[in-house]
Copies of this chain bind each other. A is one copy, B any other.
Amino acid sequence: MSAPRRTLHLNAFLMNAGHHDAAWRHPAASPERVTDLRYFQELARTAERGLLDSIFFADGLALWGKARHNALGGFEPLTLLSAIAAVTEHIGLIATVSTTFNEPFHTARKFASLDHISNGRAGWNIVTSGTLDEARNFNREEHLEHSLRYDRAREFLDVATKLWDSWEDDAIVLDKEGGVYADTDKLHPAAHRGEYFGVAGPLNVPRSPQGHPLLVQAGSSEDGKEFAARYAEAVFTAQQTLADGQTFYKDLKSRLARYGRTEDDLLVLPGIAPVIGSTEAEAKALERELTELQVPEYGLAQLSGMLGVDLTGADLDGPLPALPEERDINGNKSRFTLVAELARRDGLTLRELIARLGAGRGHRVYAGTPEQIADQLEEWFTQGAADGFNIMAPVLPTGLTDFVDHVVPVLQRRGLFRTEYTGSTLRENYGLPRPANRYTRPTG
The reply to whether the CB of A423 lies closer than 8 angstroms to some CB of chain B is no
Number of copies of chain A assembled together: 2
Q: How far is the CB of A379 from chain B (nearest CB, A)?
A: 36
With beta carbons under 8 angstroms apart, the residue of B67, B79, B138, B203 that contacts A78 is B79
Q: Which of A46-84 contact B (CB under 8 A)?
A: 60-63, 66-76, 78-80, 82-84
Q: Which of A232-259 contact B (CB under 8 A)?
A: none
Cα–Cα, bound, A105→B86 (Å): 26
Q: Mark A172-212, 1 if CB is under 8 A from B, else 0.
A: 00101001111010010000000001111111111010000
Best-surrounded residue of A133, A174, A176 (most CB of chain B within 10 A): A176
The reply to whether the CB of A109 lies closer than 8 angstroms to some CB of chain B is yes
With beta carbons under 8 angstroms apart, the residue of B24, B80, B105, B137 that contacts A117 is B80
Q: Mark A297-319, 1 if CB is under 8 A from B, else 0.
A: 01000000000000000000000
Q: Is A105 a contact of B75 with CB atoms below 8 Å?
A: no
The reply to whether the CB of A101 lies closer than 8 angstroms to some CB of chain B is yes
With beta carbons under 8 angstroms apart, the residue of B61, B87, B171 that contacts A204 is B61
- Residue of B with least CB distance to A75: B113
* Stretch from A30-38, A218-226, A264-272, A380-388 contacting the other chain: A30-38
Best-surrounded residue of A68, A101, A117 (most CB of chain B within 10 A): A117
Q: Is A137 a contact of B74 with CB atoms below 8 Å?
A: no
Cα–Cα, bound, A73→B187 (Å): 15
Q: Which residues of chain B have C-beta atoms less than 8 A from A138's C-beta?
A: 103, 105, 199
Q: Is A187 a contact of B103 with CB atoms below 8 Å?
A: no
The reply to whether the CB of A376 lies closer than 8 angstroms to some CB of chain B is no
The reply to whether the CB of A116 lies closer than 8 angstroms to some CB of chain B is yes
The reply to whether the CB of A6 lies closer than 8 angstroms to some CB of chain B is no
Q: Which residues of chain B have C-beta atoms less than 8 A from A76's C-beta?
A: 106, 109-110, 113, 205
Cα–Cα, bound, A114→B78 (Å): 10
Q: Is A37 a contact of B72 with CB atoms below 8 Å?
A: no
The reply to whether the CB of A102 lies closer than 8 angstroms to some CB of chain B is yes
Cα–Cα, bound, A32→B206 (Å): 12
The reply to whether the CB of A436 lies closer than 8 angstroms to some CB of chain B is no
Q: Is A176 a contact of B24 with CB atoms below 8 Å?
A: yes
Cα–Cα, bound, A61→B204 (Å): 7
Q: Mark A15-54, 1 if CB is under 8 A from B, else 0.
A: 0000000001100000110011100010000000000000
Known A-B contacts A35-B116, A137-B201; the reply to A179 vs B25 at CB < 8 A is yes
Cα–Cα, bound, A68→B175 (Å): 10
Q: Is A79 a contact of B204 with CB atoms below 8 Å?
A: no
Q: Is A80 a contact of B113 with CB atoms below 8 Å?
A: yes
- Residue of B with least CB distance to A175: B25
Interface residues of A (CB under 8 A from B): 24-25, 31-32, 35-37, 41, 60-63, 66-76, 78-80, 82-87, 101-103, 105-106, 109-110, 113-114, 116-117, 133, 136-141, 171, 174, 176, 179-182, 184, 187, 197-206, 208, 293, 295, 298
Can you give 6 A-B contacts (C-beta < 8 A)? Answer: A35-B116, A73-B116, A75-B116, A76-B110, A80-B113, A101-B103
Top-5 shortest CB links A-B: A86-B86, A136-B200, A74-B205, A67-B182, A82-B82
